[in-house]
Amino acid sequence: MDKRKVFVFLRYLITLLLTAFVAVTIVHMSTKEREEKPITSVPVVVAQPQRGTLEQGLTVSGHIQTDHLVAVIPLASGKLVSWNINVGDVLHKDQVLATIDPEPYRQQLLQAQSAKDVAQTTFERIRSLHAAKVITDQIFEEAQAQRDATQAQWELAQRQLAHTTIQAPIRGTVIQSLGSVGNMASPDKAVAILADMDNLTVTVNIPQSYYDVITKNRESLSLRVSRTLSDGSVREALAKTESISPMVDPSSNTFSMVCKLIEGTEHFIPGMHVSLTIVYKTLQDGFILNQADRTVDGGFYLYDEDQKKAHYQKLPIIAENDSFVAIDAMYKNTYFIVDGHHTILDGQPVVATSYR
């Protein structure tokens, strides 16, 4: 009986100890959970707005064209006996491109010269007889008409002989060479195509939403044509407005604009794909931030230097383009969070690790 009492006592003692252990553990865990966790500040990069110029506009693409393409068409027919040009050659006005075999036309001129001389001699003789009243007026007029006809034939033969020399009608660059020695030339087929590289244009299609601002500022538009080279460098040319379409294409909701290159044209040739930057408004001496400094909804995180916290704000925008945004001058001395602003919250502690 004593052993049984001891056993019961031990069982209750063990149960009591286990209960006490569990209670102590629970109290300990509750105390740990109530301990305040240290707050970690998020590292960020901050910057102040920079003074600068902001251009408002848009960039569209197009192709270089020349508004003056000339087909070189021979005015005489015959075999080409000389060919003096290649594609890419720059020709001066009246420069000789090629020569048609002139021999048939020389013979034709000799025949016309002979006929003219005979007609002139006959006319002189008949005129003398007509003055002496020996022949009728009709005979005199027929001789005069024959003289004039042979004179015209002689002049035509001269021109045809001159036309065996094919000359450049304008100053331009050869973009197509369609002849060669031995080929036949005729007035119904061009032998070359020349392009006036001093008159290059670019035609672009612009969204209709820009029609009002572009037509309103037509005379003050700043236009730049550019293309990128294989090494990443850029070639630019200035341009001016040539024409703006008075109608919108309903199928694309765009209107066309033609611009003429006026400076730097040596870097461009017809057919090149280029970008045209149209600036219709320029803000001078503004306070500028990068568009990348904004949050996805267009706001900013301001850096509170005293409290070391981030404060979200939507600021009034003075002007903006694809790359930059101009803000009110009242924020010129404010620090903005420009790196790390996509991962923080309003009022969150931050630490400025660097200044841009």
Examine the domain organization and report whether 50 and 82 are in the same domain.
no
Q: What is the mean pLDDT of residues 152-166?
A: 94
Q: Give the whole-number percent of the chain exceeding pLDDT 70.
A: 90
**What is the per-residue pLDDT for 224?**
96
Examine the domain organization and report whether 355 and 240 are in the same domain.
yes
Residue 49: burial class (beta carbons within 10 Å; 0-12, 13-18, 19+): buried
Structural domain harbouring 129: 111-163
Examine the domain organization and report whether 212 and 349 are in the same domain.
yes
Three-state SS for 85?
A: coil
Model pLDDT for residues 88-102, shown as the tens digit of each residue: 899 999 999 999 999
Beta carbons of 211 and 120 less than 8 angstroms apart: no
**Does 120 score more than 90 pLDDT?**
yes
- Predicted confidence band at 135 (pLDDT cuts at 50, 70, 90)? confident
- Predicted confidence band at 31 (pLDDT cuts at 50, 70, 90)? low
**Rounded Cα gap, residues 300 and 318, in angstroms:** 15
More reliable by pLDDT, 112 or 35 = 112
**Token pair belonging to 353:** 């690790």
- The total domain count for the chain is 3
**Token pair belonging to 138:** 């009709």
pTM of the model: 0.62
- Report residue 223: phi and psi, to 5°: -120, 130
Q: What is the mean pLDDT of residues 277-285?
A: 92
**Does 5 score more than 70 pLDDT?**
no
- Predicted confidence band at 214 (pLDDT cuts at 50, 70, 90)? very high
**Rounded Cα gap, residues 135 and 301, in angstroms:** 114
**Rounded Cα gap, residues 218 and 222, in angstroms:** 9
DSSP class of 49:
-
**Token pair belonging to 48:** 């102040």
Examine the domain organization and report whether 218 and 276 are in the same domain.
yes
More reliable by pLDDT, 39 or 69 = 69
Conformational region of residue 140, where left means phi above 0, alpha means psi within -120 to 50, and beta covers everything else:
alpha
**Does 167 score more than 60 pLDDT?**
yes
| CATH number of the domain to which 174 belongs | 2.40.50.100
Does residue 6 lie within any of the structural domains? no
| CATH number of the domain to which 355 belongs | 2.40.30.170
Residue type at 176?
Q
Residue type at 174?
V
Does residue 276 lie within any of the structural domains? yes
Residue type at 296?
V
**What is the per-residue pLDDT for 32?**
54
**117-133 per-residue burial string, b: 16 or more CB within 10 A, e: under 16:** eebeeebeebeeebeee
Among the listed residues 346, 331, 340, 339, the one whose alpha carbon sits nearest the alpha carbon of residue 49: 331
**Does 22 score more than 60 pLDDT?**
yes
Q: What is the mean pLDDT of residues 183-192?
A: 94
Beta carbons of 49 and 287 less than 8 angstroms apart: yes
| CATH number of the domain to which 116 belongs | 1.10.287
Residue type at 199?
N
Does residue 321 lie within any of the structural domains? yes
**Rounded Cα gap, residues 92 and 96, in angstroms:** 9
Question: What DSSP assignment string belongs to 102-146?
Answer: -HHHHHHHHHHHHHHHHHHHHHHHHHHHHHTT-S-HHHHHHHHHH
- Report residue 90: phi and psi, to 5°: -100, 120
**What is the per-residue pLDDT for 345?**
93
Arithmetic mean of pLDDT over the chain: 90
**What is the per-residue pLDDT for 7?**
62
**What is the per-residue pLDDT for 29?**
65
Examine the domain organization and report whether 51 and 133 are in the same domain.
no
Examine the domain organization and report whether 313 and 209 are in the same domain.
yes
**Does 327 score more than 60 pLDDT?**
yes
Three-state SS for 82?
A: strand
**Rounded Cα gap, residues 98 and 167, in angstroms:** 7
**Rounded Cα gap, residues 160 and 80, in angstroms:** 15
**What is the per-residue pLDDT for 68?**
84
**What is the per-residue pLDDT for 132?**
86
Does residue 21 lie within any of the structural domains? no
